[in-house]
Structure 1
Amino acid sequence: MSTENKLDGARLDALWDFDDPAASAERFHVELSRLEPGSTAHAELRTQVARALTLQHLEQEALAELSAVEAEGRDDPQVRARLELERGRVDNSNGRAAAAVPHFQAAATAAADAGDDFLVVDALHMLAIADDERSDEWTRQALAATEASTDPRTRRWMGSLRNNYGWTLHDRGDFPGALEQFEGALTANQETGIAKRIRIAEWSVARALRSLGRFDEALAIQSRLVQGPEDGFVSEELGELLLATGRPDEAAPHFATAATLLSADPWFDEPDRLARLVRLGTVYQLRRHPASAQRRLSPIRRSRGCRIR
């Protein structure tokens, strides 16, 4: 099967909204009606329907969609790369990282056979996430593949790769190394001009600066970011920075805002962290609305240790 009619990457990017996988899936189904059944592009897009289902925590539906594509029996490295990637993502998203690794390795091989730089890097970046023991090795390979590619869409991976590696180093306590990677991610994202990624990279730089005790620099960045769209993570960092610099009264309203915003975020699943934000923000709420603050604190106490959606 030829891959000449493979899915257009720019078109796929336009259809995807990773913050709203359900709406993305609806767009994919509309697009599928316009593509030739049996074509490489049609099969590839069906794997993205599966990815959208995975992001909605619909594991069995995602696997069924992938099995249906697989049952067509096509011998196409482009489609094979997509299938392996999404099977790996299903496993990884459901706590089976070890089972995901062979899928991502197979995806990298198939993508190389198909000559698709973007999918090669995608597979390597997933290996860096799923395979802790070899994470640095996979990241270096992904960065090298990105640097070597002449495809502008593939080169956009640089920001994400440096961001992910930065968090790996941060989790290890290597804060100077993390800052270097976050600054590299910021530079890469500024080159692509994607505002949301630039904002995330700036936040990450500030977070590393806080870990390094460089509070004034971090505070300057977060104080600028808070002027933009409401963001619970920015409010949380402002609270932490003000608390660290001996200004708990100034920190409290930021913690309260962070608790409100993050409790409404379906992706935020850290009950202990949320409980701490509520506790720190309650100082502020008690002063303004005592009864409301007490009601707000009680459910968090009852839900400690449970999943908060």
Structure 2
Amino acid sequence: MEDRLRELWDFADLDGTEARFRAFLGDVQTDDERAEVLTQLARVEGLRENFAAGHALVDEAEVLVAPDSTGRVRALLERGRLHRSGGEPEAAQPLFVAAFILAKTRGDLSLAVDAAHMASLVDDPEKWTKQGLEIVVANPGLVRWLGPLHNNLGWFYFENGRYDEALEAFEKTPEAYAESGKAKTLHALGRTEEAAAAARRALELLPHDSHDEWVEEMEAIAAG
């Protein structure tokens, strides 16, 4: 079910994503599968900042799930995301931890990594990112998570002045945001020429709809 649900997502087109999930509801066979789809509709509402609608959909999902099911993992995870996005990180933290424990116990490893990633945003970033990385390293099929996890770890180190460790983490992250992280870290280390080169690479890779402040910061570093 994991891959089938991922295929329906397009974060740049929430209306289309919602339509695909609603159509998919007609194809599901079990209550737990229906609950899984409802949690994804809840995530769509969270991204729209319609938090009450999102929580209502998770409520609907929770009625359907068994206590040790994948649907339960997703309900915990999406309820946590709704709380975090709604400015309630303290409410989100135990939900992400519970989702991680249940997902890991069940063998839903992609969801376990997702839960660790989210826990790192509201709890100990180093601890939870490393928990996620341990799973990914042991399961090469989850390699897509390496970028986000190393990026989280890089910014944690950067914000705590651990620049050498930040640079090491960013160097393991191939995406455009990793180049921007490397640029900022090299700049903080006083390695101006290397920072400028990384900033130029970031500018080449950044999406056209990137935040102006991000672009301006990279342009300033690229200029030396």
**Shorter-chain TM-score above 0.5:** yes
Task: Say if 2:31 and 2:64, in contact at 8 Å, map to a contact too.
Answer: no
Check 1:135–1:199 CA distance in 2 against 1; reply closer, same or farther (3 A cut): closer
| Equivalent residue, structure 2, for 1:211 | 188
The aligned amino acid for 1:176 is D
Given the alignment, which residue of 27, 46, 66 partners 1:34? 27
Deviation of 1:90 (Å): 1.0
Counterpart for residue 167 of structure 2: 179
Q: What CA distance in whole angstroms lies between the structure 2 residues aligned with 1:223 and 1:129?
A: 28
User: Could you tell me which of 116, 129, 132 is aligned with 2:121?
Assistant: 129
Say if 1:103 and 1:176 are closer, same or farther in 2 by CA, change over 3 A.
Answer: same
Counterpart position of 2:6? 13
- Trace 1:81-230 onto structure 2 (pairs within 5 A): 81-131=73-123, 134-150=124-140, 152=141, 154-186=142-174, 198-227=175-204, 229-230=207-208
2:220 counterpart (236, 240, 243): 240
Extract unaligned runs of 5+ from structure 2: none
Equivalent residue letter for 2:6: D
Shift in Å, 1:130: 0.9
Instruction: Give the Å deviation of 1:74.
Output: 3.2
Partner residue of 1:59? 51
Per the TM alignment, residue 206 of structure 1 is displaced from its structure 2 partner at its CA by 1.8
CA RMSD of aligned residues (A): 2.1
Deviation at 1:35, TM superposition (A): 2.4
Q: Where does residue 70 of structure 1 map in the other structure?
A: 62
Aligned in 2, Cα 1:164/1:242: closer, same or farther, shift over 3 Å? closer
Structure 1 residue runs without a partner (length 5+): 1-6, 187-197, 246-309
Does 1 or 2 have the higher relative contact order (CA < 8 Å, sep 6+)?
2
Q: In structure 2, what is the Cα distance between the partners aligned to 1:121 and 1:227? A: 30
Mapped partners of 1:12, 1:212: distance in 2: 42
Instruction: Tell me the SS of whatever aligns to 2:12.
Output: coil
Give the C-alpha shift of residue 57 in structure 1.
Answer: 0.5
- Greater Cα radius of gyration, structure 1 or 2: 1
Q: Partners in 2 of 1:164 and 1:54 — Cα distance?
A: 21
Q: CA deviation at 1:225?
A: 4.1
Q: Which stretch shifts more, 206-215 or 44-53?
A: 206-215
Structure 1 CA distance for aligned equivalents of residues 217 and 72 of structure 2: 42
| 1:288 alignment partner in structure 2 | none
Count of residue pairs the alignment pairs up: 221
One-letter amino acid of the structure 1 residue matched with residue 194 of structure 2? E
Question: Structure 1 residues 121 and 167, CA, compared in 2 at 3 Å: closer, same or farther?
Answer: same
Instruction: Identify which range, 224-233 or 164-173, moves more after superposition.
Output: 224-233
Task: Please report how far the alpha carbon of residue 202 of structure 1 lies from its aligned counterpart in structure 2 after TM superposition.
Answer: 2.1
TM-score, L = length of structure 1:
0.65
Does the CA contact (< 8 Å) of 2:38 and 2:60 recur in 1? Answer: no
TM-score, normalisation: structure 2: 0.88
Deviations 1:43-64 (A, max 9, x none): 2121111011111111100000
Same amino acid, percent of matched pairs: 35
How far does residue 163 in structure 1 lie from its aligned partner after superposition?
Answer: 0.4
Deviation at 1:75, TM superposition (A): 4.0
Matched position secondary structure for 1:33:
helix
Task: Say if 1:104 and 1:123, in contact at 8 Å, map to a contact too.
Answer: yes
